[in-house]
Structure 1
Amino acid sequence: MIDKIVATPAEALADIRDGATVMIGGFGTAGQPNELIDALIETGAKDLVIVNNNAGNGDTGLAALLAKKRVRKIICSFPRQADSHHFDALYRAGEIELELVPQGNLAERIRAAGAGIGGFFTPTGYGTELAKGKETREINGKMYVLESPIHADFALIKAEKGDRWGNLTYRMTARNFGPIMAMAAKTTIATVHEIAELGSIDPETVVTPGLFVQRVVKIDRVATSAGGFKRA
Structure 2
Amino acid sequence: MGATVFTTPAAAVADIGNDTSIAVGGFGLCGIPDELIRALAESGVNNLEIFSNNCGVDEHGLGILLSAGRIRRVVASYVGENKEFARQYLSGELEVELTPQGTLAERLRAGGAGIPAFYTPAGVGTPVADGGLPWRYAADGTIAVASPPKETRTFGGNSYVLETGITADYALVHAAVGDTAGNLVFEKSALNFNPLAAMAGRVTIAQVENLVPAGTLDPAQVHLPGVFVQRIVHTGTQNKQIEKRTVTVEEGSNR
- Tell me if TM exceeds 0.5: yes
Give the fraction of aligned pairs with identical amino acids, expressed as a percent: 45
Question: 2-side partners of 1:122 and 1:115: how far apart?
Answer: 17
Give the C-alpha shift of residue 35 in structure 1. Answer: 0.5
Are the counterparts in 1 of residues 25 and 198 from structure 2 also a CA contact under 8 Å?
Answer: no
Alignment of 1:5-16 (within 5 A): 5-16=5-16
Counterpart position of 2:197: 181
Question: Structure 2: which 5+ runs fail to align?
Answer: 132-148, 244-255
Counterpart position of 2:38: 38
Counterpart position of 2:232: 216
Alignment of 1:189-204 (within 5 A): 189-204=205-220
Matched to 2:117, the amino acid is G
Are the counterparts in 1 of residues 120 and 162 from structure 2 also a CA contact under 8 Å?
Answer: yes
Question: 2-side partners of 1:86 and 1:3: how far apart?
Answer: 36
Are the counterparts in 1 of residues 3 and 232 from structure 2 also a CA contact under 8 Å?
Answer: no
SS in structure 2 opposite 1:29? coil
Question: 1-side partners of 2:2 and 2:60: how far apart?
Answer: 34
Alignment of 1:113-124 (within 5 A): 113-124=111-122
Question: 2-side partners of 1:22 and 1:160: how far apart?
Answer: 21
Are the counterparts in 1 of residues 55 and 61 from structure 2 also a CA contact under 8 Å?
Answer: no
Distance 1:231 1:209, change over 3 A: farther
SS in structure 1 opposite 2:30? coil
Counterpart position of 1:125: 123
SS in structure 2 opposite 1:216? strand
Give the C-alpha shift of residue 56 in structure 1. Answer: 2.1
Are the counterparts in 2 of residues 221 and 231 from structure 1 also a CA contact under 8 Å?
Answer: no
TM-superposition CA deviations, 1:8-58 (whole Å, max 9, x none)? 000000111111110111111110111110011112111110011112213
The structure 2 residue matched to 1:86, chosen from 84, 87, 95, is: 84
Matched to 1:187, the amino acid is V
Give the C-alpha shift of residue 176 in structure 1. Answer: 1.2
Counterpart position of 1:165: 181
> Could you say which structure has the larger radius of gyration?
2
Matched to 1:195, the amino acid is L
Question: 1-side partners of 2:91 and 2:241: how far apart?
Answer: 35
SS in structure 1 opposite 2:232? strand
Matched to 1:87, the amino acid is F
Q: How many residues align?
A: 225
Give the C-alpha shift of residue 156 in structure 1. Answer: 0.4
| Structure 1 position 105 matched with structure 2 position 121 | no
Question: 1-side partners of 2:197 and 2:61: how far apart?
Answer: 18
Counterpart position of 1:134: 150
Question: 1-side partners of 2:33 and 2:45: how far apart?
Answer: 17
Counterpart position of 2:137: none
Counterpart position of 1:59: 59
Q: TM-score, normalised by structure 1?
A: 0.92
Are the counterparts in 2 of residues 221 and 230 from structure 1 also a CA contact under 8 Å?
Answer: no
SS in structure 2 opposite 1:159? strand
- RMSD (Å) for aligned C-alpha atoms: 1.7
Counterpart position of 1:74: 74
Question: 1-side partners of 2:27 and 2:61: how far apart?
Answer: 12
Matched to 2:224, the amino acid is T
Give the C-alpha shift of residue 197 in structure 1. Answer: 2.1
Moved more, 86-95 or 100-109: 86-95
Are the counterparts in 2 of residues 113 and 151 from structure 1 also a CA contact under 8 Å?
Answer: yes
Question: Structure 1: which 5+ runs fail to align?
Answer: 224-228
TM-superposition CA deviations, 1:146-179 (whole Å, max 9, x none)? 0001110111000011111111111111121111
